[in-house]
Structures are given as structure tokens and as C-alpha cells.
Chains A and B, each alone.
Chain A
Amino acid sequence: MRILEHPLIVPCVRRAPLALGLAALAAMPQIIHDAYVLRILVLVGIYVLLTSSLNLVNGYTGLFSLGHAAFYGVGAYTSAILVMRTGWSVWVGMIAGALGAAVVAWLIAKPTMKLKGVYLTLTTLGLNIIIMLVFLNWVDLTKGPLGIAGIPVPTLFGRRLSAPADYYYLILVVDVLVVFALSRLVNSRFGRALKAIREDERAAHACGIPLIHFKTVAFVLSAALAGLAGSFYAHYMRYISPEAFSYPETFNIVTILAFGGPGNLIGPIVGSVILISATEAFRVFAAYRMIIFGTVLVGTMLLRREGLLGGREYSFLITWPPRKKVDYGKGDRFLDAAQPPERGA
């Protein structure tokens, strides 16, 4: 068994659960052919993307933004309108959706990232409503309350991706790439700076972290990912209307994040899987769906404030390549601050 202790093999063994999990996810459509189940899985995938992107701002940077559905909507509308008006490829539309959301977020972030606490929350919520009203009232561009129907599906190598399994694989690939990128990001120098801002803004500032700049970058990145999710949603549902991107949708995303546990990469995934599949599977209780969401949110805050998986980062499950354990010695507070230990660990 010496081979298992080889320095190249050990990390592979530790990542075995991850590899097995991915293999199981990839095999899913071969086992399940039910279009309805696959549809739920695709929705879960969209929410994993949305919640993970919000996690970057609300979980890692410690801001409390309530405008996420707006970027989701900007991505959806940008992509749908661009592809339908110009006839360009859906892939271009998806990139444009992400970029469009990023640009809007950057314009918003410029003035608002200097606001603190609840002021930022209210401003982002107000902007969410304003953007939704623009979708609703700019009828020439967005068809207003009628919504946009007949949005084209993507094609890959001349094949229209319209089967449920196609979308499943597409969102799976996007999710895996995004979560992997996020896992690299949050353990990078930049990610550690974000966590430092979350833990203590003044201390982070004193360490030379440019607060407004880093917050802006996190906000724009998060919006770009939400825009990507929105554009995916538009080309999956093939119909979008303004209500889907109003602030109740933001509340849904915030609920999933709070339930799963902000500040780690697994929480948003677990939260989306449980909440979305539970509410979609029990369609009979559709009328109670939002009541369940509200109750889950209140219950989480009262019983387990940090969320189901909050308080730890679980980075050992996802991070690749594995981080080397660095021995900072004892009592070296300064270096500890430079690389904050895992919370709750």
C-alpha cells in the first residue's frame, strides 16, 4: 500500500468523493430519463450558479446586497434581445449577458460600494426595483409585461441542444467550472482579502486592502455570474417576463444562500439542491411554496443562524490543487491575520 502514500496519489485519494460525485452527476441522465426530473435538476443547476455568485458578495465579502435578481434579469434580457435581433449564436449571447450584467453592476457599484450596512442593502434593493421597472416599461426593447417568447436554443456542432439531457450537461459543465473557479478565487490573495473585509473592515483597511476597489470587483464578478445564469435561464425557458426578475426572486436567492450556509462553496449547492428540488417536487403545494421559503428563512435564522453548512469552508472537498499546509509557528498573529484560519475550525 506504499503507492497510496505517494505525494501525487494522496491528494487524489482525498479527492475521491469529489470525483465520485462528479461521475454520479455525469451519469445521471443515463439513469434518469424522466424529463420532469431532469427539468428540476436543471433548475437546481441555475440556482447553484445564482446562489454561488451571490455568495461571493453576501457570504465572502460580508456585504448585504439585495439586488441580485436584477443582474439575473439583465443577463437574461441582454442575451435574449441580442440573439433575437441579430441572429448571432446563443453562445455569444450568453457571454454578452454576463458582460451586460457586469457593466450594469459596475455602474451601480461605482457610487454604492462606499455605502455601509443597511444603506447598501436598501440601495441595491431600490436598484433591483428600478431595473425591473425598466424591463416592464421599455416596451420597444423588452415587450414590457408581455415578455419575450420564442427565444432560440443553443446549437453545438450543428446540433440543436433542446433535449432535457443537453441542458442538464450544459448547466453541469457551467456549474462545475464556476464552482472550481470560485474555489480558486476565494483561496487566492484576492479571496483572502475579501474574507478579511468581511471579518473586520477597518482592520482590512489598515492592512492596506483597498476596500472600495475590492468590493467593486467582487460585486461585478458576482453580477457577471448572475448574468450568465440569467442568459442560461432565458435560453432554457425560451420565455422571459419582468416579474421573474423582481425582488421576490432576490429574496428566494438570499433564502437559499442563508439556508445552505454563506461563506463556503458547498452551502449554496446544498441549499439549492434541497430547497429547489423540494419545492419543485411537491408541486401540489405550489401555493405554499413561498410560505415554505419564508418559514425556512425564519427557522434557519432562529435555529442555526450560520445556515446548514455555515461556519466552515469545507475547502478540502473542492479545492484543487490541494493547498499546502503552512506552519506559521506559534503565536505569529500577524501572519495568521494575513491568512485567516477557517472559521469555526
Chain B
Amino acid sequence: MLAQQLLNGLTQGSMYALIAVGFALILGTLKLVTFAHGEVFMAGAFVAYTVVSLVGGNLLWAFVLAVVAAGALGVVIEFFGFRLLRNAPHTSSLLVTIGISTIMVNAAQLIWGAETKTFPLGQETGSVTVMGLTFTGLQLTVYGVTLAMIALIYVLLDRTKVGMAIRAAAQDHEAAYVLGVGINRIYSLTFALGSALGGLAGVLVGLYYNAVYPTMGGMMGLKAFSACILGGLGSVPGAVVAGLFLGEVENLAVAYLNAGYRHVFSFAILILFLLFRPQGLFGRKENIR
């Protein structure tokens, strides 16, 4: 029973990790917080839902289009929230992303309706039992996608020229600019990348719980934010570990304590961390504007 709960927590945690990595990329590079990340996540889920219900069963297209749409949204948000306000105080950017998130939630309600949508997938995904633990096909998909994405991000950041440019921009954007890094392009790219990961997480969550609704992003965006702070602001490995940790804690709390308070536990952990170890698990004490 406990092992099965831990496994469910791992699944939930993987999805948190995925959305948190996207958030951490944006936060670490642009040094700015976006409140619209959860809504990008929601948009990803809705795009996938629309593709599946219009075209039919092939999930691959749903994934691809959701990721592309989320990335494009990221570019738009970067433009309005950050590029136009590069020299403004941080609160202006925060307020713009709050405004964008409000617009997106309510636009989604107008377009798709407020009620919960389910993916019209007929077939069962099947399950595998290993050592008494049951893995559903969906769970395996979640693990696979998350691992693949984390590996991809690692390779991208660590082994490619673009990744080097992103890291340089994150460390010191002025110095990077002087050395010939196109800062605006890198910021757009990073935002698109982070948002695409968020959109991907949206598809996974939508599929896993088989529920897509306009307000699904609000709490998730905040969880991603929490995971980022737990992991150390802007630290990508930290975000992964913290996402998994939050998923486990929530699942255990729901299983053994009170389901109504599930979000309370993750925010309580966050607040405790902020009070006693504000730099997070792996973070350095850095200034976020």
C-alpha cells in the first residue's frame, strides 16, 4: 500500500518536476517571475484536448501541437511581460503576467466552457505489474516523457552552443551581450522552451487525471513556483528534486491525512522553507530582482 502510494506520488512528482523545470529555466535566465506559467500549462492541455477530439486518437500530434502552441504563447508573454518592460520595476512585469493569466483563464472559459473536459480516448492503456506494484501505461508514459525531457534539457544546456548562451545570459546578461550573445533572442527562446515544457506537463496531467478545465493551471503554476523556491531559485536540478518531493508529500498527505487540505501541505512546506532556508535545497543566495 505504502509502496503504491509512493509510486503515485512519483508520478505526480514527475509532472510537478516537468512544469517546475520550465519555470526554473525562465526564472534562472530572465531573473523574473511569471504568474502565467500555470495558464500556459492549461493551454497545452486544452490544445491537446482539441486535437484529440477533432482529429482522433493519435496522441503524438496532440503532444506536438500542444508543445508548439505553449512555446508560441511563451514568446508572446515574454514580449508583453518582459521585453516591453525590460527597464521597469519587477512588479510591473509581475502585474502583466497576472493580467495575462486572468485573460487566459477566462478566454479558455469562453472558448471551451467552464466544465471539466475528458479526453475521448476509448482504449485502455493497459498496465504492467512488477514485484506487486502496478504501473499503468499512462504512468509509464509520464515517467518516460519526464526523463526524456530532463535529459534533453540537460544536454541542451550543457552540451550545445545555444545552451551555453542561455547559461551565459543567466549568469550575466550584459557580459553575454558584449560577447555577442543575442540577448533578446535568447530570452525569447528560453521563455518558449520553459513554456513548452509547461504545456507538455499540461498534456500529461490532462491525460493522467483525464480532466481538463480552465482553472487547472492556477494551482499548478503556484506549485511550480513553490518547487522552484524549494529547489533553489532558478536551479534546474533543484526544481526536479523539489517537484518530486512535493508530489510525494502531497500524495502521502492525501492518502493518510486529509484530502481537502492537500494544497495546504505543499504551501506549508514552502513557507517553512522560506523562513528557515530561503535559498532552498540547492540554491545559492542570489538576488532575484
Chain A binding surface, main DSSP class: helix
B92 touches A305 (CB 8 A): yes
A290 touches B270 (CB 8 A): no
B95 touches A301 (CB 8 A): yes
User: In this assembly, does B125 line the interface, its C-beta being within 8 Å of a C-beta of chain A?
Assistant: no
Q: How large is the interface on A (under 10, 10 to 19, 20 to 34, 35 or more residues)?
A: 35 or more
Report the separation of the CA atoms of residues A112 and B110 in the bound assembly, to the nearest whole angstrom. 38
Q: Which of A69-123 contact B (CB under 8 A)?
A: 111-112, 115, 117-119, 121-123
A287 touches B226 (CB 8 A): no
Residues of chain B within 8 A (CB-CB) of A305 are: 85, 88, 92
User: In this assembly, does A211 line the interface, its C-beta being within 8 Å of a C-beta of chain B?
Assistant: no
User: In this assembly, does A294 line the interface, its C-beta being within 8 Å of a C-beta of chain B?
Assistant: yes
Q: Which of B199-222 contact A (CB under 8 A)?
A: 218-219, 222
Q: Which of A247-276 contact B (CB under 8 A)?
A: 247-248, 251, 254-255, 258
Report the separation of the CA atoms of residues A48 and B96 in the bound assembly, to the nearest whole angstrom. 22
Report the separation of the CA atoms of residues A123 and B229 in the bound assembly, to the nearest whole angstrom. 11
B267 touches A258 (CB 8 A): no
User: In this assembly, does B263 line the interface, its C-beta being within 8 Å of a C-beta of chain A?
Assistant: yes
When the two chains form the complex, which single residue of B94, B99, B267, B270 contacts A121, counting CB atoms closer than 8 Å? Answer: B94
Residues of chain B within 8 A (CB-CB) of A247 are: 218
When the two chains form the complex, which single residue of B100, B103, B109, B267 contacts A126, counting CB atoms closer than 8 Å? Answer: B267
Of the 9-residue stretches A128-136, A173-181, A219-227, A324-332, which lies at the interface with chain B?
Answer: A128-136
Q: Which of A218-243 contact B (CB under 8 A)?
A: none
B105 touches A290 (CB 8 A): yes
Report the separation of the CA atoms of residues A115 and B275 in the bound assembly, to the nearest whole angstrom. 8
A294 touches B99 (CB 8 A): yes
A298 touches B91 (CB 8 A): no
Given contacts A298-B96, A301-B96, A305-B88, contact A118 B288 (CB under 8 A): yes
User: In this assembly, does A197 line the interface, its C-beta being within 8 Å of a C-beta of chain B?
Assistant: no
Report the separation of the CA atoms of residues A125 and B99 in the bound assembly, to the nearest whole angstrom. 15
Residues of chain A within 8 A (CB-CB) of B107 are: 291
Question: CB-nearest residue of chain B relative to A290?
Answer: B106
Additional 19 contacts, C-beta under 8 A, given A111-B275, A290-B105? A64-B94, A112-B275, A118-B94, A122-B33, A122-B270, A127-B267, A129-B222, A129-B263, A133-B264, A134-B264, A289-B106, A294-B99, A294-B106, A295-B103, A297-B95, A297-B98, A301-B95, A301-B99, A302-B84
Question: CB-nearest residue of chain B relative to A133?
Answer: B264
Residues of chain A within 8 A (CB-CB) of B93 are: 301
User: In this assembly, does A137 line the interface, its C-beta being within 8 Å of a C-beta of chain B?
Assistant: yes
B264 touches A298 (CB 8 A): no
Residues of chain A within 8 A (CB-CB) of B5 are: none
Report the separation of the CA atoms of residues A89 and B270 in the bound assembly, to the nearest whole angstrom. 40
A sample of 17 inter-chain contacts (CB < 8 A) reads A112-B271, A122-B33, A123-B274, A126-B270, A137-B260, A248-B102, A251-B98, A255-B95, A290-B105, A291-B102, A294-B101, A294-B102, A297-B96, A297-B102, A301-B92, A301-B93, A305-B92
Chain B residues in contact with chain A, CB under 8 A? 33, 80, 84-85, 88, 90-96, 98-103, 105-107, 109-110, 218-219, 222, 225-226, 229, 258, 260-261, 263-264, 267-268, 270-271, 274-275, 278, 288-289
Residues of chain B within 8 A (CB-CB) of A136 are: 260
Q: How far is the CB of A224 from chain B (nearest CB, A)?
A: 22
Residues of chain A within 8 A (CB-CB) of B278 are: 115, 119
User: In this assembly, does A214 line the interface, its C-beta being within 8 Å of a C-beta of chain B?
Assistant: no
Given contacts A117-B288, A254-B95, A301-B95, contact A133 B263 (CB under 8 A): yes
Report the separation of the CA atoms of residues A300 and B102 in the bound assembly, to the nearest whole angstrom. 15
When the two chains form the complex, which single residue of A125, A251, A288, A293 contacts B222, counting CB atoms closer than 8 Å? Answer: A125
Report the separation of the CA atoms of residues A112 and B93 in the bound assembly, to the nearest whole angstrom. 23
Question: CB-nearest residue of chain B relative to A262?
Answer: B91
Q: How far is the CB of A268 from chain B (nearest CB, A)?
A: 15
Q: How far is the CB of A70 from chain B (nearest CB, A)?
A: 12
Question: Which has the most chain B C-beta neighbours within 10 Å: A112, A136, A258?
Answer: A258
B94 touches A298 (CB 8 A): no
Residues of chain A within 8 A (CB-CB) of B91 are: 64
A130 touches B267 (CB 8 A): yes
A137 touches B225 (CB 8 A): no
Given contacts A122-B229, A126-B222, contact A297 B99 (CB under 8 A): yes
Question: CB-nearest residue of chain A relative to B266?
Answer: A126
Residues of chain B within 8 A (CB-CB) of A255 are: 95, 98-99, 102
Report the separation of the CA atoms of residues A112 and B229 in the bound assembly, to the nearest whole angstrom. 15
Question: CB-nearest residue of chain B relative to A293?
Answer: B102
Residues of chain B within 8 A (CB-CB) of A123 are: 270-271, 274
Report the separation of the CA atoms of residues A118 and B233 in the bound assembly, to the nearest whole angstrom. 11
Report the separation of the CA atoms of residues A296 and B271 in the bound assembly, to the nearest whole angstrom. 31
Q: Which of A25-78 contact B (CB under 8 A)?
A: 64
Mark interface residues in A282-318 (1 if CB within 8 Å of B CB, else 0).
0000011111011111101110010000000000000
B274 touches A291 (CB 8 A): no
B85 touches A302 (CB 8 A): yes
Q: How far is the CB of B69 from chain A (nearest CB, A)?
A: 19
Q: How far is the CB of A147 from chain B (nearest CB, A)?
A: 16
Report the separation of the CA atoms of residues A255 and B106 in the bound assembly, to the nearest whole angstrom. 15
Q: How far is the CB of A302 from chain B (nearest CB, A)?
A: 6
Question: CB-nearest residue of chain B relative to A66?
Answer: B98
Question: CB-nearest residue of chain B relative to A252?
Answer: B102
A126 touches B226 (CB 8 A): yes
Report the separation of the CA atoms of residues A183 and B285 in the bound assembly, to the nearest whole angstrom. 39
B106 touches A130 (CB 8 A): no
Report the separation of the CA atoms of residues A129 and B94 in the bound assembly, to the nearest whole angstrom. 18
Report the separation of the CA atoms of residues A127 and B222 in the bound assembly, to the nearest whole angstrom. 12
Given contacts A122-B229, A247-B218, contact A117 B90 (CB under 8 A): yes
Question: CB-nearest residue of chain A relative to B219?
Answer: A129
